[in-house]
Chain A
Amino acid sequence: MALRDWKLSRREMLRCAGLGWGASCASWLPALAAEVAADPRRHRHCILLWMNGGPSQTDTFDMKPGHANGGEFKEIATRAPGLRFSEHLPKLAEHAERLAVVRSLSTKEGDHSRGTHLVRTGHPPAGGVAYPSIACALAKQLATASSKLPNYVSVAPQSQVSPASFGPGFLGQRYAPAIVGGAAGGAASAASDSAEIVDLRLEHIEWPAGVEARQAARRMELWNELQGSFLRDHRGESFLAHDALYRNAADMMRPEVRQAFDLGAESDTVRRKYGAGSFGQGCLLARRLVERGVPFVEVALGQGLAWDTHQDNFNQVRRLSEELDAGWANLMTELAERGLLESTTILWIGEFGRTPTINGNAGRDHFPSAWTCVFGGGGIQGGQAFGKTSDDGNVVEENRVEIGDVLATLCAAMGVSPSEENVTPAARPIKLAEGKPISDILA
């Protein structure tokens, strides 16, 4: 049984081969990491850090110190010369050489629902075409047929605001994300050491509570008999597809797949480092899944429209930043240790930015015309900021990019051509992304 549990992770097998089971990872990790990173056949991965509500660029990655719009937070230096972040992102600052900040993103949708649709699909909502989210489309491109694990896992998605933007659209349900732990943990205390660690679970991967092993066996036994007897007499692709799909699903219920999602297998120390909330634990899960070859993982921060800081912006952004900093920075550290950062592209983005001007409630409002997203990891030339906003942050002054360019950059960073097409049921070809990759930030 112990050996079988390792089955899905050849990397882990490799890691343990020739070593005592109890050996510490520290000594051999760097060598293995270099080997993994250099493998040209390595699988590509993507991690989308989705900032529902629209994060404030002025209080995170495009600060305006000395200007009235700058707000309460101080700027700090990062590992990358000249690149500066908010004081509430100190751990992330250590990784700045692997991060490229795009400060010149400009879009036209200032409503949560429409903005979410635009950013996640590359298109404003419209009749006619059910656009897939870029996550579903990229997961489809990056998928490997042999994997028993889902190709796209989404942690605590807050999709109510625009359900269609989180789904596979015309690609069909087989490209839908596997949802982990729909309810997000309390952001307020997530970063503190005493907070209870959020328990993330993949939906429907286990028999419901109360179904005993004997029952499960009975179900599958009779199901097999029904399938055998029906399929003997009934031919047809659709019947076979149905049968195969259920067998696949049953495979996903095996212990080794469940184990990939079991954060209990990680030490408490590691879990705490990431932060106890669903974002931190989601980042840890993302690392585990990338290790096991899952091509696309998405992690959302906070419940509902967490970043929608119309009031009390600074206290809220401070808390959110702490959670973001712990989860994201540890994710980069641990991916790098395993040689997986080279093959994993990270994108940090929400549906829009927030007004540089501060409103009467110490808040910031929706602001699509000049905002920021951040790329990191594989395929990205880090340590730089691309584009520039004015001193007051209100307008893009250099290198304006649109959402299509951002999505095209994401594709290109992973070695996928943005002009790859999917075809709608009405035979209309739709590109993965309509824009032009930002070559300055591609490695």
Chain B
Amino acid sequence: MRFDRWSLVVLILGLYGWLQGATVGQLSSAKAADDVGEAGTEIVELRKQMIRRIDEHLAELWEQRGIVPASSGSDGEFLRRAYLDLNGVIPRVSEVRSFLADRRPDKQRLLVDRLLESPRYASHMATVWQNRILPYEIEMQHVREAIGLHQWLRSRFARNLRYDNLVEGLLLATGEEELGPGLYYRALDLAPEKIAASAAELFLGLHLQCAQCHDHPYANWSQRDFWGFAAFFARVRSPEDRMMRTSYRLFDDDRGEVLLPDTEEVIYPKYLQASLAADDKSQTRRMQLTLWMTSRDNRLFVRAAVDWAWSHLFGRGLVPSLDHVGDLALSDHSELLEELAEYFVRSGFDLQELFRVLASTRAYQLSGQYVSEGTSPPELFARMLAKPLTPEQLYDSFLVLSPSLKGEEQRYGPQAEQATGGMTIDPTRMEFVRRMRSPPGDATEYRSGTLQALMLMNGELMDRLTAADRSSLLGALAAPYLDDEQQIEAVFLAALARSPTPAQQAQCVEMLRACETSEERTSALGDILWALANSTEFGFNR
């Protein structure tokens, strides 16, 4: 923690050759971390309080509204959910078995800790963030830089860099030393208005793009607010490249302004909901903005971070919109959001700590079952909302499921990524993701097409997973000491983290018994795996 903070300070100083503003900003945020660090046991107590607070808040609400929350999900459900949310894959069959057998009362907490420490956490978060911050499909056009950005993010999540420092690093990117973060600016064409709209949405939770052209009809943002914010990005430039190639290096020019559209009026940098930025020659505009933006006192910034973390685990944000104060006040959860925000600041912008808290709540353990939408509205979190697996989660889970795909896993999985600095790429995965990906939107909505379903059913990947002569999962199952029931059980545990129902067990046993040769038995097992891997139950994180 300490090292990260100081290395960033040094980096900033080195890059900007300039002292005072930076130290003030950094030290003020550093103080919060020190408070926590010095009182190690205090954090455990605070954490417990925070979890209890969330549980009580939701329980109270449910009671008020006469809502019966879903029952707690099974161990298998929790295991699969936590795996997918925090590591981006389904658990291996061996982990399913040992988790189900584990009798320790705190095994869920221990699991979450383990998942947060896994290298998969870092690469999954890097994937999630990359998809979040880059425009849809842009990485297809900038493959090398996209890999660089992934690696850049991965290394930061791996050492749990403070969230405020992560955002600072991204916004102050120069692309001088590392391939990657500069792609964020490049993907937005270095256009101040595009960067402004994106940064406001990602890091402040504000949807400003409408205000680009007109005063925002529903919120308190005017067109001038928007351009005042955009003005902070007016001087970000990319050096001319004689070869006319796209450059990913960035620097801050000492001139460049934005104009109010259709006028000649220069709009000067102005913080949102705040004052004009001082005309400070010693500080770049990006630097000024970043210091304001990531300050612990900037509630917009902290709220947006907490709301994002909540939505990552629960499928939707805690509040419907962060855009305007009026809406916030109307939400059932606005107070809770403020408390979580405060907790996040006190923890030193510790994202893992935030996930640890959220994953320990009662709400995170609830099953997804409910009677009707009316009796359990999604915004009350009285049941777990199901999220379709992302293309990356699907692909990576197939790799976990079948040792036959082990080659890719060894060559391109998180271990390999760590070893090679992330500069290798699995072309099959990339193509799969390209063809499966849906544009950004509601994480709980299933928006795939028929052709994607056909690709899953009949494509090369599924065939390698389920063909008798290609899948070594099937090969491993053919061990003579496993009887029919045990083999079927193993396939179900591997795919769904649960045992078959009696009816399913009977149906599968019958299928196996009808086979005359051992080859046929293996292909029948492959067919069982096929049905599981294509089922709705498999296709969702529930």
Interface residues, chain A, CB within 8 Å of chain B?
A: 113, 125-130, 150, 162-164, 167, 169-179, 203-208, 210-211, 215, 218-223, 225-227, 229-231, 233-239, 241-243, 245-246, 248-250, 252-253, 425-428
Query: What are 23 A-B pairs with beta-carbon distances under 8 A?
Result: A127-B198, A170-B439, A172-B438, A175-B449, A176-B451, A177-B451, A205-B454, A208-B462, A210-B467, A221-B507, A226-B504, A226-B537, A234-B386, A236-B368, A239-B386, A242-B448, A245-B452, A245-B453, A246-B534, A248-B450, A250-B457, A253-B458, A425-B439
Within 8 A of A (CB), among B197-211: 197-198, 207, 209-210
Given contacts A162-B141, A204-B458, contact A127 B207 (CB under 8 A): no
Given contacts A167-B137, A173-B437, contact A223 B534 (CB under 8 A): yes
Given contacts A172-B449, A239-B540, contact A234 B137 (CB under 8 A): no
Within 8 A of A (CB), among B463-504: 463, 467, 469, 501, 503-504
Bound complex: CA A126 to CA B189 (Å): 6
Bound complex: CA A218 to CA B457 (Å): 14
B62–chain A nearest beta-carbon distance, Å: 18
CB contacts (< 8 Å) of B462 on chain A: these are 208
CB contacts (< 8 Å) of A238 on chain B: these are 386, 388, 444-446, 540
CB contacts (< 8 Å) of A113 on chain B: these are 141
Of B434, B455, B508, the residue contacting A163 (CB under 8 A) is B434
Given contacts A204-B455, A218-B527, A245-B448, 14 further A-B contacts (CB under 8 A): A150-B451, A170-B439, A172-B447, A208-B463, A226-B537, A227-B535, A229-B503, A234-B537, A238-B444, A238-B446, A239-B386, A242-B539, A249-B454, A253-B458
Of A207, A239, A425, the residue contacting B536 (CB under 8 A) is A239
CB contacts (< 8 Å) of B446 on chain A: these are 237-239, 241-242, 245
Is there an interface contact between A248 and B440, defined as CB atoms closer than 8 Å? no
CB contacts (< 8 Å) of A210 on chain B: these are 467, 469
Interface 0/1 of B232-256, CB less than 8 Å to A? 0000000000000000000000000
Is there an interface contact between B467 and A222, defined as CB atoms closer than 8 Å? no
Interface residues, chain B, CB within 8 Å of chain A?
A: 135-138, 140-141, 187-189, 191, 194, 197-198, 207, 209-210, 368-373, 386, 388, 434-441, 444-455, 457-460, 462-463, 467, 469, 501, 503-504, 507-508, 511, 523-524, 526-528, 530-532, 534-537, 539-540, 542
Bound complex: CA A128 to CA B196 (Å): 11
Is there an interface contact between B532 and A226, defined as CB atoms closer than 8 Å? yes
Is there an interface contact between A130 and B136, defined as CB atoms closer than 8 Å? yes
Is there an interface contact between A227 and B458, defined as CB atoms closer than 8 Å? no
10 tightest CB-CB pairs across the interface, nearest first?
A174-B449, A249-B453, A222-B531, A130-B136, A127-B188, A204-B454, A238-B446, A223-B531, A173-B449, A204-B458
CB contacts (< 8 Å) of B457 on chain A: these are 204, 246, 249-250
CB contacts (< 8 Å) of B372 on chain A: these are 235
CB contacts (< 8 Å) of A163 on chain B: these are 137, 140-141, 434
Bound complex: CA A425 to CA B467 (Å): 39
Is there an interface contact between A128 and B188, defined as CB atoms closer than 8 Å? yes
Is there an interface contact between B136 and A169, defined as CB atoms closer than 8 Å? yes
CB contacts (< 8 Å) of B386 on chain A: these are 234, 236, 238-239
Of A130, A211, A243, A253, the residue contacting B439 (CB under 8 A) is A130
A111 nearest CB neighbor, chain B only: B244
Bound complex: CA A20 to CA B501 (Å): 55
